[in-house]
Amino acid sequence: MEETKRAVEEILEHIQSIQRDMKAREINQFVDALLKSKRVFVVGAGRSGLVAKAFAMRLMHVGMDVYVIGETITPALRAKDTLLAISGSGETELIVETAKIGKKIGAKIIAVTSYPRSPLAKLADVVVTLPGRKEVAAIADYMKRELFGEYASLAPLGTLFEVGVMVFLDGIMAALMVKLGKKEEDLKARHATIE
């Protein structure tokens, strides 16, 4: 029970830090790229891929032409398209290679990563930097950590990055809804009828 509360507290504090540290320039560039794009393609690996798919669904709800890289019905990426690539490390081979192909084609690349100097970020036209996992505890022994008031992260692996990206992208949706003049009823009209 105590671990659950501490983990939720850690995640909430992380989200608040993202909100405090967001850069208006990155947000504006992100939204503008989406609005100017003919089509939007999203890619991410593992849980970042699930976050990318959730965002693709939201983009579809506001009426954007959106595809998920790797799905069988995804068409060819073209020069007037935008590729949104999500990778905490910015080094995931599949994501970096996809961005390289997109760059070669002439698509606009948006990277969401924790590392602004990563291979993915270097390929991107727009980089949104969102922090991920904090450093692993400096003191390995549990009892010593407790005595010194240091706690190991209870949010495993990429949890903080993925949750942060999900919340950030839902914030982007709010901006898109305003700019596109969409209301919740408009989104409901495009919501799946078969689930």
Instruction: Answer whether residue 3 shows pLDDT above 80.
Output: no
Instruction: Answer whether residue 75 shows pLDDT above 70.
Output: yes
In a domain, 193, yes or no: no
pLDDT digits (tens, 9 = 90+) for 105-124: 999 999 999 999 999 999 99
pLDDT digits (tens, 9 = 90+) for 19-53: 888 889 999 999 999 999 999 999 999 999 999 99
* Residue 40 near residue 82, CB atoms below 8 Å: yes
Instruction: Answer whether residue 10 shows pLDDT above 60.
Output: yes
User: Can you tell me the mean pLDDT for 48-74?
Assistant: 96
User: Can you tell me the mean pLDDT for 154-174?
Assistant: 82
- Which residue has better confidence, 2 or 131? 131
* Residue 36 near residue 185, CB atoms below 8 Å: no
Predicted pLDDT at 50: 96
| Beta strand extents in 63-156 (DSSP E only) | 66-68, 82-86, 108-113, 126-129
Q: Hey, what's the torsion of the CAs at 114, 117, 121, 127, to 10 degrees? A: 60
Give the domain extent around 91: 2-185
DSSP 90: S
In a domain, 129, yes or no: yes
In a domain, 158, yes or no: yes
In a domain, 191, yes or no: no
- Sequence-distant (6+) residues with CB within 8 A of 163 are 11, 14, 15, 155
In a domain, 192, yes or no: no
Least confident interval from 56-60, 82-86, 143-147: 143-147
CATH code assigned at 126: 3.40.50.10490
Cα angle, residue 150 at apex, residues 147 and 155 outer, rounded to 5°: 135
Of 26, 71, 93, 162, which residue is the catalytic one?
A: 162
In a domain, 6, yes or no: yes
In a domain, 97, yes or no: yes
Question: How many folded domains does the chain comprise?
Answer: 1
Predicted pLDDT at 146: 47
Catalytic, 71? Answer no
Give every strand in the sheet of 126-129, ordered side by side.
66-68, 40-44, 82-86, 108-113, 126-129
- Which residue has better confidence, 182 or 45? 45
Predicted pLDDT at 104: 97
Average pLDDT, the chain: 86
76 CB neighbour count, 10 Å cutoff: 8
pLDDT digits (tens, 9 = 90+) for 121-154: 999 999 999 987 554 444 444 445 445 554 445 5
